[in-house]
Structure 1
Amino acid sequence: MDAKKTDRIKLIQQALQDQKAIHLREMASLLEVSEMTLRRDLMRHPDQLRLLGGYITRARDDLEPGDYRVSEQDTRHVEEKRRIGKLAASFIQPGDTVFFDCGTTIPFVVDFLPDDLEFTAVCNSLNVLLKLQLKPRCNIVLCGGTFHRKNQVFESHAEASILDGVRLSWAFVSAAGVSLDFGVTCFNFHEVEVKKKVIRQAQQRLLLADHSKFDAVRTAHFGALSDFHYVVSDKKIPRAYREAIEAGGAQLVI
């Protein structure tokens, strides 16, 4: 291996000393090489580094039980998430103001938005921000604050005042668990305040969740199925939830 490749690997390892994951695109930009070059570098060091859903992580950086990390979740149920993203993106019209929640399904919504669509996006997560900044006619409002690396979310008490001043046409909300008995949940308590606020304020609310999220209960509760006007999922959603969504007056989009 030449010196430049060795240096790149060392620089990646240094970058991962104080964070759990870094996006391939971001690292390639920092190293001033193509993403393909960086992929080839990583393939030569599977015992040290790995690539998961576009994020570079240490090979032995395992999850603790019950933990959540965007770099791990990004590789699960990708086809379902992509289809959900495409369905959800069709709701957004020129001039809309849209809240994009955190998680690994939401970025797929942004992928399917036309580059010439003019809209305003409000977000509080890094992985969504990186997608939105690629849309040339998107005006971005970022809720800043303390950055949580595991789920790529910015948290701040100032978020409340930022959201208070924004009128949302749509809220695209993600969930890690949806239960008929225990409501809609996520892994992290620091996501709850923002989720609850956008549910209260948005004119139209969409819950985005693939079939694996149903009949699951996570730590932090933030809402109920009845809080949403639309539930965007895939065809494997359990029958009981199809019936509950319809009975509650919401529209199931699959």
Structure 2
Amino acid sequence: MRTMSYRRVERLAMLATALEAGGSLRLKEAAKMLGVSEMTVRRDIATGDGSLTYLGGYIVAGQETPGGMGYLFATELASHTEKKRDACTLAASLIEPGDTVFLDCGTTMPHLASRIPTDLRLTVVCYAINVAEILCKKPNLKVVLLGGIYHPSSATFSSEEALGTLANIGINKAFISAGGLHADRGVSCSNFHEVPIKRAAMQNAVRRIVVLDSTKFGRVKPAFIGQIDDFDTVVSDAAVPAPWRETLPPGVRLLMPAP
């Protein structure tokens, strides 16, 4: 038992060293580097100290550098999954052939990415690894992945170059994720570095659509994205609290599955 424990610690140390320069490591590459199975690597990470996280086929640092927001991406992966799926099924129905769409980051957007039909031809702009990995497996999509500095807390990239790229892309529909939607404090998220990209996509989009599960209504997160009426559509699941069904600002449409 002590030998196996030592080997696990040694493997985790090797992974941490490989990630010291930042970025991420594919699970397959990690398994090959360590000379073990992918299942062993995932088990090592799951039983480790939390400094490493497995998400979307990649191994990344488990949290942001000191001083960051501390939004632990992995803890959100399995939360409210059915609600996220329901909201994203409805959101996907808004996408039309030939569209250029922006897909935001977070743990909701992979459900939307997976629900884009494989025979649909369109261009998708994204900046999150867990979203891009799903999109790149769909042969009829043209995927634009924005680059820059990698942020493990949300598996995203950010840079001035990314903002410049967005400014030159005409977007039919921008699907924005959020951690909170509040009548007075508007739409918000946990990571400040995401806000410029979200706003740039919204500014260049014909339609601005916020996609979030019903547990986010009434919440406020630290990073302000915009007021509710900066969006034309709010997409959620069937459990949206009753007061919200009547109190959204004029001109903002609420889409939710039929009961």
Tell me if both proteins adopt one fold, taking TM over 0.5 as the criterion: yes
SS in 2 for 1:147: strand
Whether 1:143 and 2:163 are equivalent positions in the alignment is no
Letter in 1 for 2:80: H
Q: Structure 1: where are the runs of 5+ without partners? A: none
Write out per-residue CA displacement over residues 13-66 of structure 1, whole angstroms, 9 at most, x where no aligned residue: 5446666x968xx21344259xxx5335644785427777657679999x9996
8 A contact 1:208–1:232 mirrored in 2: yes
Letter in 2 for 1:156: S
% same residue: 33
8 A contact 1:94–1:117 mirrored in 2: yes
Q: What does 1:214-225 correspond to in 2, within 5 Å?
A: 214-225=217-228
8 A contact 2:63–2:72 mirrored in 1: no
Equivalent residue, structure 2, for 1:27: 27
Equivalent residue, structure 2, for 1:164: 167
Equivalent residue, structure 2, for 1:78: 81
Q: What does 1:72-151 correspond to in 2, within 5 Å?
A: 72-151=75-154
Aligned pair count? 246
Q: Determine the C-alpha separation between the residues in 2 that align with 1:151 and 1:65.
A: 11
Whether 1:230 and 2:244 are equivalent positions in the alignment is no
8 A contact 1:176–1:218 mirrored in 2: yes
Distance 1:166 1:65, change over 3 A: closer
Decide which of 64, 69, 72 is 1:69's aligned counterpart: 72
Letter in 2 for 1:96: D
Task: Compute the TM-score of the two structures, normalised by the length of structure 2.
Answer: 0.80
Q: Determine the C-alpha separation between the residues in 1 that align with 2:41 and 2:31.
A: 12
Task: Compute the TM-score of the two structures, normalised by the length of structure 1.
Answer: 0.81
Distance 1:162 1:53, change over 3 A: closer
Letter in 1 for 2:88: G
User: What is the CA-CA distance between 1:245 and the residue it aligns to?
Assistant: 2.6
Equivalent residue, structure 1, for 2:38: 38
Letter in 1 for 2:131: V
